Amino acid sequence: MRIPLSNRLKIWFNVYVKVFTNSPFLVCMDLARSQEEIIDPKYLWIGPDGRNLEGQMYVNLTETGKLMVMGFKESMSGAYTCTLSHKIIEAMTQEEREVVEVYKFMVYAYREADHAYQVFVRYATEECELPANSQFFEELKKTVNNIISDLTCHIIESSYKCHSFKKPKQGLGHQLFVSFQVNPFAPGWVEVCHQVPYDCEDATNTRVQEAKDRIGEFFKKQAYALKHEFQTAPTIHYVDNSFSATHIDSCRPGFGKNDLTHKNCASCCVVCDPGTYSPNNDVTCQICARPRVKKYGARSC
């Protein structure tokens, strides 16, 4: 004897897949169910577009109901739903009862954040109105850019200000407060990325890390030279231990960070949800004024 459908469960999971990689296997049952014997299981996987995933070229679907999505792209993000139906047979009466359980996976594409560094450094100078200050600053920019140019990195948003200050038991002093950003997207970076399989955040972040380290070594050598090679300090000279570098993250267009919505991938640049967009390298997906956008990873509304 067969008794119709008994109960229906809905269980949600969030899954994050790095772009151009394969997803982990999505299992069409929870942990408790996986420890039990299942009689006559049947699995039905439906993708974000509402289509049956069986037979699709971009998925690996096993006979035990496990799903892998291959070569994941931002457009593949969305709800993947599996319906598991199986039977429970009563031992005493041999009555069959069909049970249906629904498991929903919200699968999001993500990228690693692109790294940059904000650098701060100080130079002592004779006076703030010294004409050589601006000339020195321009030469400093050229020198730093030359140090890192082979890494397809460059400095951007560079500036300096001169400040006067009075130290205890000393006269009035003047220093140039220099700041600039070490950026990994110098001309030619796209061609370099084309040499890397799939995506190149890891390679880009490695390059900008090396650029930051080279710049730090450059200033370290200046401090050494002032102590050991100069009897009299130059008119404009590096202030020892003034170098600092602050880590800055950015996301590619169509991606952003949200440590509330995506707390399990808080450091990731996650694909923007439908109704939101990111047109640039900010870390925030903006809400569309008129949410016509229904796709993931929008760069405009």
What are 252-261's pLDDT values in tens digits? 899 999 988 8
Question: Which class does domain 2-110 fall in?
Answer: mainly beta
The structure's pTM equals 0.78
Q: Is the dihedral of CA 133, 139, 140, 145 positive or negative?
A: positive
Output the pLDDT for position 281: 83
Q: Extract the residue ranges of the chain whose pLDDT is less than 50.
A: 1-6
Q: Is the dihedral of CA 159, 165, 167, 173 positive or negative?
A: positive
Q: CA gyration radius for the chain?
A: 29
Distance of CA 161 to the CA centre of its chain: 33
Report domain extents, the chain: 2-110, 114-250
DSSP state of 197: S
Rounded to 5°, the CA angle 42-43-49 comes to: 150
Output the pLDDT for position 230: 80
Fold assignment, 114-250: Alpha-Beta Plaits (3.30.70)
The SS3 of residue 123 is strand
Taking the C-alpha atoms of residue 184 and residue 115, their distance in angstroms, rounded to an integer, is 8
Taking the C-alpha atoms of residue 43 and residue 55, their distance in angstroms, rounded to an integer, is 13
Would strands 286-287 and 114-125 be described as parallel, antiparallel, or unpaired?
A: unpaired
Burial class (CB in 10 A: 0-12, 13-18, 19+), 98: middle
Would strands 255-256 and 269-271 be described as parallel, antiparallel, or unpaired?
A: antiparallel
Tokens 């401090």 sit on residue: 223
Taking the C-alpha atoms of residue 15 and residue 23, their distance in angstroms, rounded to an integer, is 8
Would strands 172-183 and 154-166 be described as parallel, antiparallel, or unpaired?
A: antiparallel
Q: At what angle do helices 201-228 and 132-148 cross, to 10 degrees?
A: 130
Output the pLDDT for position 9: 57
Output the pLDDT for position 5: 47
What are 196-214's pLDDT values in tens digits? 766 678 888 999 999 999 9
